[in-house]
Amino acid sequence: MFLAAKSDGIDESKEEKPDFHAGPGRRDDLYVFSHPVESRQRLGAQTMDVSALPHVNAVLNGIAACFLMLGYVLIRRGEKDKHRKAMIAAASVSALFLVSYITLRFHAPVFEFRGEGVIRPIYYALLISHVILSVCIVPLVLLTLYRALRGTFDLHRRVARWAWPAWMYVSVTGIVVYLMLYQVYPPEVAGLQ
């Protein structure tokens, strides 16, 4: 597309670059929307290398799931102090994930899933349920932790019965979404594969 050859008097070596100072409603707005990272670079905005963050996020989801499972096993054994530590660790890792995920979304485009056929609706059903539950669990987890730290364990257990499975689902499906999007059907974007 950007060859250095001339054909029919047309110099194809020059790439057409949009005028970012053009008014709204122009084709340039579509370019800025569909190429957010490149557009910020051309406009002189600060960008950062976020190519490792999808992988970091998957690892953080995995660690959170391990702490959640450990916390579940410990409370079933009656080891309340160890359970508390495991759940605080799960919440801390999940908080790190949230910061990392927001950083990734601010600095990198959202990729379209490249799988075709029956896997496509499966992926999107998984992704939609993951996103909806991930938004819902934040207040549930905070409420559960708050009640545990205050020592109101009856109220803590009532919320934890709903929060724990939802939190575990979000952690595990986060890993599955990562594997499907970045490993099984990777995006063709330099630096984010």
**Residue 171 neighbours by CB distance under 10 Å:** 26
What pTM was computed for the model? Answer: 0.72
Per-residue pLDDT at 187 = 78
Rounded CA Rg of the chain: 22
What average pLDDT does the structure give for the chain? 81
| Residue 179, beta-bridge partner list | none
Domains of the chain: 53-184 (1.20.120.80)
User: Mean pLDDT over residues 14-18, rounded?
Assistant: 46
3-state DSSP helix/strand/coil % of the chain, to nearest 5: 70, 0, 30
The pLDDT tens digits of the residues spanning 69-113 come to 999 999 999 999 999 999 999 999 999 999 999 999 888 877 788
Q: How far apart are CA 170 and CA 152, in angstroms?
A: 26
Shortest CA distance to 106 belongs to which of 26, 180, 45, 156?
Answer: 45
The pLDDT tens digits of the residues spanning 159-172 come to 999 999 999 999 99
